[in-house]
Chains A and B, each alone.
Chain A
Amino acid sequence: MGGHTADDIKKSVRTYMVVFAALAALTVLTVAASYLDLATGPTIALALLIATVKGSLVAMFFMHLIDERRAVYWILGLTVVFFIVLMLLPLGTVSDTTGVG
Chain B
Amino acid sequence: MQIPYTVEERPDTGLYNAKLGVWLFLASEVMLFGALFSTYVLLRTGADAWPEGSSILNVPLATLNTMVLIASSVTMVMSWASLKLDNFPKYKLYMGLTWLLAFVFLIVKYFEYSAKFSHHLYPSTNNFLAIYFVLTGLHMLHVIGGMVVNGYLWGPGAKMWKTDPERFTNRIEIAGLYWHFVDLVWIFLFPVLYLL
Contacts and interface: CB of A to CB of B under 8 A. Distances in A.
Interface of A: 4, 6, 9-10, 12-13, 16-17, 19-20, 23-24, 27, 30-31, 33-34, 43-44, 47-48, 50-51, 54-55, 58-59, 62-63, 69-72, 75-76, 78-79, 82-83, 86-87, 90-91, 94, 97-98, 100
Chief secondary structure at chain A's binding surface: helix
Contacts of B196: 34, 43-44, 47
10 contacts: A16-B74, A24-B70, A30-B191, A47-B192, A71-B20, A78-B27, A86-B34, A86-B38, A87-B37, A87-B38
Nearest to B190: A30
Interface stretch (B123-131, B135-143, B155-163, B179-187): B179-187
Given A71-B13, A86-B34, A48 B191 contact: yes
A16 B81 CA distance: 10
Does more than half of chain B's interface fall in helix, strand or loop, or is it mixed?
Answer: helix
B191 A58 contact: no
B42 A90 contact: yes
B177 interface: yes
Given A62-B73, A82-B31, A94 B14 contact: no
B59 to A, nearest CB: 7
Contacts of A34: 54, 59, 191, 195-196
The 6 closest A-B pairs by CB, nearest first: A34-B195, A69-B14, A71-B13, A47-B191, A79-B27, A98-B45
A47 B176 CA distance: 26
B63 interface: yes
Nearest to A80: B30
